[in-house]
Structure 1
Amino acid sequence: MTLQKRIWDLLVLAIFIFAAVFATAPWFAFRALKAAAQYEDVQALGELVDFPVVRRSLTGQLDEEAPAAKPEAPSLWTNPMGVFKRALEPIAPPEPKVDRYLTLQGLSALTRGYAPGAAPPPAARPETVLGRMQAVVRGPYPTIAYWDPNRVRIAVRRPDDKAKATIFTFQRRELFTWKLVHIRLPADER
Structure 2
Amino acid sequence: MNRKLLTGGLTALIVAFLVAYFASPVLAVRGLTEAARTGDETALRERVDFPEFRASLKEELNAELVARMREDPRSDNPVLSGLGMLLAPSLVSGMVDAFVTPQAIATMVRSAKAPDPMDRPDRVETSAPAPAADDKDTVSQSWAYRDLDTFAVTLTNSRQPDQHLALLMERRGLFGWKLAGIDLTVPSEDDAI
Q: How does 1:86-101 map to 2 (within 5 A)?
A: 94=91, 96-98=94-96
Counterpart check, 1:167 vs 2:166: yes
Counterpart check, 1:123 vs 2:133: yes
* 8 A Cα contact 1:173 1:179, kept in partner: yes
Structure showing greater radius of gyration is: 1
Structure 1 residues 52-98: Cα deviation after superposition (integer angstroms, max 9, x where no partner)? 111112122334369xxxxxxxxxxxxxxxxxxxxxxxxxx647322
Distance of aligned partners of 1:122 and 1:14 in 2 relative to their CA distance in 1, 3 Å threshold? farther
Q: Distance in 2 between matches of 1:185 and 1:43?
A: 26
Structure 1 residues 108-133: Cα deviation after superposition (integer angstroms, max 9, x where no partner)? 23223432679972439xxxxxxxxx
Q: Percent identity?
A: 29
Shift of the alpha carbon at 1:14?
1.3
Which runs of 5 or more structure 2 residues have no equivalent in the other structure?
Answer: 68-89, 115-124, 187-193
* 8 A Cα contact 1:54 1:181, kept in partner: yes
Shift of the alpha carbon at 1:100?
7.2
TM-score (norm 2): 0.63
Q: Distance in 1 between matches of 2:132 and 2:33?
A: 12
Letter matched to residue 98 of structure 1: V
Letter matched to residue 159 of structure 2: D
For these two proteins, the number of residue pairs brought into alignment is: 148
Q: How does 1:67-106 map to 2 (within 5 A)?
A: 94=91, 96-98=94-96, 102-106=100-104
Letter matched to residue 14 of structure 1: L
Q: Name the residue aligned to 1:150.
A: 149
Which runs of 5 or more structure 1 residues have no equivalent in the other structure?
Answer: 67-92, 125-134
Counterpart check, 1:54 vs 2:53: yes
Q: Name the residue aligned to 2:14.
A: 15
Counterpart check, 1:112 vs 2:110: yes
RMSD (Å) for aligned C-alpha atoms: 3.2
Q: Name the residue aligned to 1:177.
A: 176
TM-score (norm 1): 0.64
Shift of the alpha carbon at 1:174?
0.5
Distance of aligned partners of 1:36 and 1:100 in 2 relative to their CA distance in 1, 3 Å threshold? farther
> Which has the larger helix fraction?
2
Distance of aligned partners of 1:54 and 1:115 in 2 relative to their CA distance in 1, 3 Å threshold? same
